[in-house]
């Protein structure tokens, strides 16, 4: 009954979702491209297919090492990557080119999922983190398609939410073939909401197995050369409500380090122009990467391109990870940590609780309360190269000491295919 009601509600709101998509597409035409995919009308595929689903950019980046490993195994299967957002698919295309297939994930109506599965006929569905869609998961299981939840995390708040709709959640959880949880608390919560105990395993976070491709390293070196030895700090994946604070912090930093450069990379492309205007209104000299403007004489360098955050981290000395000065829950701190650089974050990091716990325990991240706290800490490190290097080495050590989850996940997938 609960599942029937859920499906009917999804059907009822679908026209409004499509209307919203069309409306947003006026300013972002990419949103209208291949919109039929969202109704399950994707190109037909033949042969074995491994379906990897990642909701957006962050999950797509996390899926990168996994997909690379699967490609290297030469399993004789096509890998289909899906996402819910245009930015997620753009990131995937930038990472893999024509080595994998791409599509928008279908909306979770029974008909859309059925059409998608008829055309793709996947042999396995790998879902990154906790993207749980009832029709997607239950229809896969009805077709004996194993469903793996990889790098899975579940907060106590989310677990309590699932418990409130147990009639809907429990059958879905029982349909999941394997949960590769980030930590034991996550595993315990999945068992609590209905996943069979023998289908839950603690593998750790695959995000610790972050890799930096050679072409990314080379591109970061080229950008770094153009900065002529300046003190460079980067604010990655920033959100509305943070940018003004970060620009204020940079004003304070410039009082002590007049040649410092802030590289700022907003999380969402629709905010690129807004952040550029904000920086100019505050009197900063701004250069934009999308226009190939030279950052040499700029005070703020706007990373307004897609899929280059990892590269821009590598071109910087110190990193702040956005989504954390506001109650957004933070973003992945392991991407800058893998470069061996000091990592800063605001207090709101509930989306990456397990990862931050490990970084904090080994002094691999520095938590700040606001823009002035951040400015003081960054200015201090800019004045002390030895301390700056030590902070970066601690961050890198945390990454290296926690690698290995990806091997467990790949082995688990191959064993269960």
Q: What is the DSSP string of 51-107?
A: EEE--SHHHHHHHHHHHHHHHHTT-S-EEEEEESSHHHHHHHHHHHGGGSEEEEPPP
Q: Are strands 78-83 and 300-302 parallel, antiparallel or unpaired?
A: unpaired
Selecting among 59, 129, 131, 308, the annotated active-site residue is 59
Specify whether 255 is catalytic. no
Per DSSP, the three-state class of 1 is coil
Could you give the CA distance from residue 393 to residue 401 in angstroms, rounded to a whole number? 12
CB distance 202 to 146 below 8 Å: no
Per DSSP, the three-state class of 223 is helix
Q: State the DSSP H helix or E strand holding residue 353, giving kind and residue range, or none if neither.
A: helix 353-361
Could you give the CA distance from residue 212 to residue 257 in angstroms, rounded to a whole number? 30
Token pair for 238: 């920033």
Instruction: Report the interhelical angle of 57-72 vs 405-416 (nearest 10°).
Output: 70
Phi-psi region of 285 (alpha: psi -120 to 50; beta: other; left: phi over 0): beta
Residue in 169, 182, 281, 303 with CA at minimum distance from that of residue 232: 303
HSE of 417, CA atoms in CB hemisphere, 13 A: 19
Residue in 166, 108, 169, 163 with CA at minimum distance from that of residue 140: 108
Residue in 413, 387, 388, 372 with CA at minimum distance from that of residue 147: 413
Could you give the CA distance from residue 310 to residue 100 in angstroms, rounded to a whole number? 21
Active site amino acids: 59
């Amino acid at each position: 009954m609960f599942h029937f009601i859920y499906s009917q509600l999804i059907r009822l709101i679908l026209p409004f979702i499509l209307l919203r998509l069309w409306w947003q597409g006026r300013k972002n035409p990419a949103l209208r491209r291949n919109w039929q995919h969202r109704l399950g009308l994707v190109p037909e595929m033949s042969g074995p297919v491994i379906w990897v689903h990642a909701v957006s950019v962050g999950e797509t980046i996390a899926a990168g090492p996994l997909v690379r490993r699967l490609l290297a195994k030469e399993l004789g299967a096509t890998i289909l990557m899906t996402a819910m957002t245009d930015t997620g698919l753009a990131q995937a295309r930038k990472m893999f080119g024509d080595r994998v297939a791409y599509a928008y994930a279908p909306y979770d109506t029974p008909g859309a999922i059925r059409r998608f599965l008829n055309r793709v006929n996947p042999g396995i569905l790998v879902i990154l983190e906790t993207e749980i869609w009832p029709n997607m998961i239950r229809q896969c299981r009805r077709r004996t398609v194993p469903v793996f939840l990889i790098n899975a995390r579940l907060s106590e708040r989310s677990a309590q939410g699932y418990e409130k709709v147990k009639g809907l959640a429990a059958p879905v959880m029982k349909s999941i073939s394997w949960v590769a949880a980030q930590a034991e608390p996550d595993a315990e919560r999945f068992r609590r909401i209905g996943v069979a105990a023998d289908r839950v395993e603690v593998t750790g976070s695959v995000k610790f197995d972050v890799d930096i491709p050679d072409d990314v390293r080379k591109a970061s070196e080229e950008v770094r050369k153009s900065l002529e030895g300046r003190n460079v700090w980067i604010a990655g994946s920033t959100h509305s409500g943070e940018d003004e604070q970060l620009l204020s912090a940079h004003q304070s930093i410039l009082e002590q380090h007049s040649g410092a450069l802030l590289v700022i990379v907003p999380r969402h492309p629709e905010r690129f122009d807004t952040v550029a205007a904000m920086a100019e209104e505050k009197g900063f000299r701004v250069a934009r990467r999308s226009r190939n403007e030279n950052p040499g004489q700029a005070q703020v360098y706007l990373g307004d391109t897609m899929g280059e955050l990892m590269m821009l981290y590598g071109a910087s000395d110190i990193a702040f990870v956005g989504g954390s000065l506001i109650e957004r829950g933070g973003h992945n701190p392991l991407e800058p940590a893998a470069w061996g650089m000091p990592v800063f974050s605001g207090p709101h990091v509930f989306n990456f609780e397990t990862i931050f716990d490990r970084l904090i325990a080994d002094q691999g991240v520095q938590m700040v309360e606001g823009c002035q706290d951040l400015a003081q800490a960054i200015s201090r490190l800019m004045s002390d190269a030895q301390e700056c290097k030590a902070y970066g080495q601690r961050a890198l050590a945390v990454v290296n000491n926690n690698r290995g989850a990806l091997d467990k996940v790949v082995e688990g997938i191959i064993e269960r295919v």
